[in-house]
């Protein structure tokens, strides 16, 4: 959610978030280099958020391959981001919910590293706990980098194809 908030700030639409009852989510429309974007923050529990994503896909006529999921990744250190094209949920309940609700695994995922818990801390309590003061210091930079990386990937992937003979 924080990455989407940052992306909304970068696209100057952060004040436009509104509740969308059709999708049980907060959403905002944005434009970037002529491309219309729908930013969506499901309001359901993580293991049910696929229902919100599927409702939005139906409402806005998106196919699974048009959708970018942004989610945390325990297997990456805090601040590491990666794009994953399709594939399994790899144990992430929110991604599993989206795959199930959309009946597809063709979504692109922006995986944002949060690292694994240390000691006897359970995964569920770890992912629901606030960031430590040391992590908070890095968070602003991590969110900005993740949002920029996401937007650049979307724009590169969705760039219009030039006319024959064009160099670009």
Hey, which bits of 9-164 come out as E strands?
18-20, 25-32, 35-42, 68-73, 81-85, 108-113
Residue 146, burial from CB neighbour count under 10 angstroms (0-12, 13-18, 19+) = buried
Looking at domain 2-158, what is its CATH homologous superfamily?
Peptidyl-tRNA hydrolase (3.40.50.1470)
Beta-carbon count within 10 A of 3 CB: 22
Of 57, 4, 48, the residue nearest 26 (C-alpha): 4
pLDDT above 50 for 165: no
166 confidence band (pLDDT: 50, 70, 90): very low
**119-131 pLDDT, tens per residue?**
777 877 787 788 8
Spell out the domain ranges in the chain: 2-158
């Amino acid at each position: 959610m924080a990455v989407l908030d940052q992306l909304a700030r970068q696209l100057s639409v952060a004040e436009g978030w509104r509740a969308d009852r059709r999708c049980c989510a907060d959403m905002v429309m944005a434009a970037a280099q002529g491309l219309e974007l729908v930013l969506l923050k499901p309001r359901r529990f993580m293991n049910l958020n696929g229902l919100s994503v599927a409702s939005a896909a139906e409402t806005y006529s998106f196919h699974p391959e048009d959708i970018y999921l942004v989610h945390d990744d325990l297997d990456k250190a805090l601040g590491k981001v990666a794009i994953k094209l399709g594939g399994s949920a790899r144990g992430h309940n929110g991604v599993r919910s989206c795959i199930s609700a959309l009946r597809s695994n063709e979504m692109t995922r922006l995986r944002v590293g949060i690292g694994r818990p240390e000691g006897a801390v359970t995964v569920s309590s770890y992912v629901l706990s606030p960031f430590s003061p040391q992590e908070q210091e890095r968070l602003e930079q991590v969110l900005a980098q993740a949002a920029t990386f996401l937007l650049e990937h979307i724009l590169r992937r969705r760039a219009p194809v030039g006319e024959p003979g064009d160099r670009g």
